[in-house]
Amino acid sequence: MQAVGDRVPAFCLFPLSRCGAAVTNAGGMGIFGAAMMSPEELEEELAWIDAHVHGRPYGVDPIVPNKFEAKGEGIADAQILAMVPEGHKSFANEVMQAHGVEPGDLEPQRADRLVFRENISAEGARRALDVAFSHPIALIANALGLPPQDMLERGKAQGVAVAGLVGTAEHARAQVAAGVGVIVAAGGEAGGHTGEISTMVLVPEVVQAIAGSQVRCWPRAALPPAHRWRPPWRWGRRVPGVARSG
């Protein structure tokens, strides 16, 4: 898809620091997916990015949900794992077998993923934000619900654009009211974690929903030619647009 105008960056979300750095070095905006990382791991990865992007802009995408199952409750890991439906496990096994992959025992891997539970706790999220804002990031994104007030305030104080992913027009209106500077219209094709509405339908709805605000929205877009690249990320200003690629 062709970029809109000369101020729309390629906005690419990658969980690997090297991929994100490569996007930034190519003239785009690499966004580092940090949901599954401990604060110590995040510090290591962001330090690597700092050393390899030579001052070019990049962002971080932790996940700080407003609510989640068993928030604040002392539920054992085994009980959390038992919540995964057997139908889901069977489906995952069947998909792998259909593609020639022997699934084996996936329970140890599911247990390893419980680090995510700690990362999205109040304390884990605070530590992740402390790490992220200690680096020269240009943008911080939140994929599940409204960004916490702390993220919005720290972003404003440090000139870091705060982005919110949306899957419905209602989400977009709520994000604008909360004070985000960037709306990322993530259709159902983008992992489906923000909703089931397709990008083609979602984008017009979101654009109409935020009409009149200072926030603008674009769907996935290709990187504009290098000679036209004008990063919209300016410290202390609202970000006028966003494009997402993934």
CATH of the domain at 188: 3.20.20.70
Same domain, 150 and 97: no
Looking at 89, 112, 135, the residue that finishes a domain is 112
Q: Is residue 236 assigned to a domain?
A: no
**For 45-49, 71-75, 81-85, 120-124, which range has the lowest pLDDT when averaged over its residues?**
71-75
Is residue 81 domain-shared with residue 196, that is, in the same domain? Answer: no
| Cα 182 from Cα 216, distance rounded (Å) | 7
pLDDT of residue 224: 36
Residue 73: per-residue pLDDT: 57
Q: Is the residue at 244 inside a domain?
A: no
Q: For residues 141 and 45, state if they share a domain.
A: yes
What is the amino acid identity at position 244? R
Structural domains in the chain (count): 2
Please state, for a pLDDT cut of 70, what percent of the chain lies above it. Answer: 71
- Neighbouring residues of 36: CB distance < 8 A, sequence distance ≥ 6: 15, 113, 115, 116, 119
Do 170 and 92 fall within a single domain? no
**pLDDT given at position 14:** 54
Considering the domain architecture, whether residues 106 and 203 belong to the same structural domain is answered as: no
142 and 81 housed in the same domain = no
Question: 242 in a domain, yes or no?
Answer: no
SS3 35: coil
Asked whether residue 167 is assigned to any structural domain, the reply reads: yes
Whole-number pLDDT of residue 51: 94
Amino acid at site 198: S
What burial class does residue 206 get, using C-beta atoms within 10 Å of its C-beta: 0-12 exposed, 13-18 middle, 19+ buried?
A: buried
> Looking at 17-21, 176-180, 207-211, which range is the least confident one?
17-21
The predicted pLDDT at position 11 comes to: 52
Domain-embedded: residue 25: yes
Quick check: 225 pLDDT over 60? no
pLDDT category, 154, cuts 50, 70, 90?
A: very high
Q: Is a pLDDT exceeding 50 seen at residue 226? A: no
* 131 and 166 within one domain: yes
Across the chain, which distance is largest between two alpha carbons, in Å? 55
Residue 133: the pLDDT is 96
Q: Which residue in 167, 180, 173, 161 sits closest to 211, CA to CA?
A: 173
Tally the C-alpha atoms within 13 A of residue 79's C-alpha that lie toward its C-beta. 6
> Bigger pLDDT: 165 or 217?
165
Q: Indicate if 84 and 202 belong to the same structural domain.
A: no
Which of 12-26, 113-127, 213-227 is the least confident region?
A: 213-227
Shared-domain flag, residues 199 and 98: no
Mean pLDDT of the chain: 75
Residue 20 lies in a domain: yes
| CA distance linking residue 54 with residue 136, whole number of Å | 11
Q: How far apart are CA 198 and CA 185, in angstroms?
A: 10
Indicate whether 124 and 102 sit together in one domain: no
Domain housing 15: 11-68+120-228
In a domain, 187, yes or no: yes
94 plus 200 within the same structural domain: no
Shared-domain flag, residues 20 and 89 = no
Query: Is 240 a domain residue?
Result: no
In whole angstroms, how far apart are CA 240 and each of 9, 33, 134, 189, 216?
Answer: 11, 22, 24, 24, 6
